A and B are shown apart, each in its own frame.
Chain A
Amino acid sequence: MVELTRPQSVPGSMPPIPASAQLLAVAWLRWRIFVNGMFRKRPKGKRQIVGLVFATLLRLIVWPMLALVVVGPVAASGFFAWMAISQGHPQSLASLLLGIALLWQFVSINGLSIAATIPSFDPASLVRFPLRFGRYFVLRSLLGLMTPSTIVGCLAVLAAAAGIGVANASLALPALVVMAVYALMNIYLTRMIGAWMERWLANRRFREIFSMLMALFAVSIQFINLQRTPMRAPGARSSWLLAVLHSSGSYLYWLPSGFAAQAILLVKHPLAAVAQFAALLASTVLFAAVFAVRLHKQFLGEHLGEGVSGREKVQSAPRVNAPAPQSAALSRPAASGAIVSPTVAACLRKEWFILRGNGTQLIGLLTPLLFVVIFSMNRTFSSIASGYFLPGAIAYLLIAALSSLYNIFGADGRGVQVYLLAPIRMLDVVLAKNLMSLALIVTQVGLAWTIICVLARTPVPVSMQISTALWTVFVVAMNLAIGTMRSIQAPRHFVPGQGRQLRASPTNRTSALLVLAVLFGCMLLQIPVAIASGYFRMPWLAAWVFGPLAVAAIFAYALMLRNAERLILANRDVFAEELCKA
């Protein structure tokens, strides 16, 4: 064993730590976390091959989608900037830059951030090291630059500068300088919003209010869209939204996007251009300063958790003669006429308590229904192809609802040990969780069904209703079977109701791909059946197809349940590794 013989004390007057040493150390830390994440221990054998296949498929699907998300706004920015200058609509440059900023902030707020989802690194944890605030501020400004929102935003701004330069070469240099500052302004605006959101989202009640606001925002956007492109009747009044947009054009010049646009366009009037550029710089400094205020509080040691309420006086419970332990009775079906066994009932109660106390999750359940209401009220949507709106709306609801079936133990975390240690059958736990999911899905589908039948202008044919019901049973049973198996084989811990920026994804990547594949496979199955049904004029064909499929899916689910106990016991080590580790 080695003797630690080195002197333990640090000299009284210590030379300052070079900033470069600390900045490079953090850069090296991020690099090592990235590299180690790439070469992390993978499962061996058959699982490794399956995982590799799924990961490759996922990349083949997701990367082109991501590329479209990046290429779309970037190409559009460059094109519209070129058009604004070359076609003589310079005033629309401010609108374009505002659009880029809004997209940038929206993507960022929604937590589509690579840095935020990398586990085991929280930049705030750097405060425990001997950093001065200036360095901490620089580090927090630099960390997280490789987020999709920043990359897309910066590329879009760069493309806009290129578009301006191509349209008018004399504006190329000022456009480049102004756009660089505009990008910096957006980065600090994002950081400022993110830092304050982090502060507010630390409070559960605020998280719920925020989720509700986001849901309302998403819903109101749909109304705005309907207003912008009125489809109710020919000759209807022109949209109020377009009128508002037209009249608000002059106000855009008082926003940073307006300052940036004017700083470029007024290049022939140097004094005015410099004043606009100074205003853009001032707004950048303002956002950086507000961000710094928040960081400084964090640097000094801020508590971001829930406020601890005063201790309540402990009321001594009235003495009750406790009955003798009846562990053996727990797993037996209830003899007193109850529908489910005590274990299933207890697990159901627990799931209900968690759901009841989680406003964010409840809002998530209600939001798709609001969309169904909106689309049902719209003539174009609700009369799609003589009644195909009903299966379409149900499919839309199920996309959101069914993904939770693929990680039913994830929210339990370490609590899963209670199930494994208790004298109960794991089958009962699985059954309870599935029953709760099923109850929520049935409620959602039932409400959506009622809404569509009441609000839709075209009556939904009975044949369509029955075939949709059979298809729904088929899809739900099939996803229950595959999802439960996946929950057992690849559980992943997550905290329900937390903001997306604060938690990992509720399913792993392979499960995510599986959800997509199964859901879209089931949805796509409707299309050939519908075409054949129309071609052969057989309205009941879909029912004949989906009826047997529904029975088969229920049978598959029953088979899976029969093996659930054995599968869980065989996967105890996976549970311990994924759910019980710190």
Chain B
Amino acid sequence: MTTPAIDTTALTRRFGDFTAVDNVNLRVDAGQFFGFLGPNGAGKSTTIKMLTGLLAPTSGSIRILGEDLQANSADIKRQIGVVPEGMALFGRLTAEEYLRFVGRMYGLDRATTLNRTRDLLEFMQLAGEQKKLIADFSHGMQKKLALAAAVIHGPKVLFLDEPFEGVDAVAAGTLKAMLLRMIARGATIFLTSHVLEIVERLCTHIAIIHRGQLVAQGSLDELRAGTWRIGQAGIQEGVVSLGEEKRSLEQIFLEIVGTDRDGNPAATAPEQELSWLS
């Protein structure tokens, strides 16, 4: 059995009396393009923050590339790349300065840093904006730069929180090609996105989180076939079949998050129409 790239056991995070992530058992094998889905406020970003060491879990354990994250955070951070929710760029730097800083922080030597900075700026079509401060970049340009910074050190695992939000179609195509090339070379990508078409096209494996709990996890084919595993409190409870016909990811997603834990329709749909809307 190979060492999973990401492995969590009973991962839980509470904020006061609110449980944002509840007993999540995730397993992402090396080389997978893994989609992590859920409605707004389901706990996706909190999970990513915990997986990347930016937020401590209340309980549970996280192993990245077989190493315990809490015990070896510095070594693990060298092998992962992150595009966080808020991008966390330094607005008063230029793109080139930022990439040079990130490269040096990840231990790249000066020459390698400069070469990769040049390559990435050209690849991301940011080479013409070298004198511009990051604060003056558009949202899409900032996203591209954040992605460039996340891959400059050649990470084995890449965490992407809504990487295509605000990125134009041409750049999105370039980014997708780059990500698929990384997968082909053995990297693991953990992606969250609300654009289910992108997830369906790129990801081989999917997990769905709803109200802090993992409600589905499996390969895309398993999900399409209407079967998936449910993992809660460290127990794999088996395979649940929802029917014979193949469904799109959007249908599956809506079916899962549209029901409560007992399978009853969730009472989130408005009971009345907004009749005053024209």
Residue ranges of A at the interface with B (Cβ–Cβ < 8 Å): 1-2, 4, 6-10, 14-15, 17-18, 21-22, 24-26, 28-29, 32-33, 36-37, 40-41, 118-121, 125, 127-132, 297, 300-303, 305, 307-311, 316, 319, 322, 324-325, 581-582
Contact = CB atoms under 8 A, between A and B. Distances in A.
A303 B94 CA distance: 29
B222 interface: no
Given A7-B154, A303-B15, A308-B16, A130 B107 contact: yes
B56 A302 contact: yes
A128 B82 contact: yes
Interface string B119-161: 1101101000000010110010000000000010111100000
A309 B16 contact: yes
Contact of B104 (A1, A21, A40): A21
Contact of A130 (B106, B119, B136, B187): B106
Contacts of A4: 119-120, 123, 178, 181
B233 to A, nearest CB: 20
B122 A1 contact: yes
Nearest to A297: B56
B156 to A, nearest CB: 6
Which of the four size classes fits the interface of chain B?
35 or more
A129 B105 contact: yes
8 contacts: A1-B125, A8-B155, A14-B107, A25-B105, A119-B91, A130-B78, A297-B56, A301-B53
**Residue of A6, A119, A132, A303 with most partner-chain B CB within 10 A:** A303
Contacts of B15: 303, 305, 307-308
Contacts of A29: 90, 93, 97, 101
Interface stretch (B69-77, B194-202, B243-251, B252-260): B69-77
A129 B90 CA distance: 14
A249 to B, nearest CB: 47
A2 B74 contact: no
A301 B49 contact: yes
Nearest to B65: A12
Nearest to A125: B88
Given A120-B92, A308-B16, A316 B53 contact: no
A33 B134 CA distance: 11
Contacts of A33: 90, 92-93
Contacts of B70: 300
B265 interface: no
A182 to B, nearest CB: 34
A118 B123 CA distance: 32
Q: Which 6 A-B pairs have the closest CB atoms?
A: A17-B107, A307-B16, A120-B91, A25-B104, A130-B77, A308-B15
Given A17-B107, A307-B15, A308-B16, A9 B54 contact: no
Contacts of B55: 301-303
A24 B185 contact: no
Nearest to A21: B104
Nearest to B121: A2
Interface in B37-95: 49-50, 52-56, 70, 73-79, 82, 84, 88, 90-94
Q: Which of A24, A36, A40, A130 has the most CB of B within 10 A?
A: A130
B17 A310 contact: yes
A14 B67 CA distance: 14
A26 B104 CA distance: 9
B18 A301 contact: no
A439 B268 CA distance: 43
Contacts of B84: 128
* Chain A CB within 10 A, most for which of B74, B76, B106, B136: B74
Nearest to A41: B136
B92 A132 contact: no
B101 A28 contact: yes
Given A2-B123, A33-B92, A128-B77, A120 B135 contact: yes
B79 A309 contact: no
A133 to B, nearest CB: 8
A130 B156 contact: no
Name which of A7, A15, A29 has the most chain B CB atoms within 10 A of its CB.
A29
B101 A2 contact: no
A6 B119 contact: yes
B182 A8 contact: yes
Contacts of A311: 18
A355 B107 CA distance: 49
Contacts of B90: 29, 33, 120-121
A40 B77 contact: no
B154 A8 contact: yes
Contact of B105 (A130, A303, A319, A582): A130
B74 A131 contact: yes
Contacts of A307: 15-16
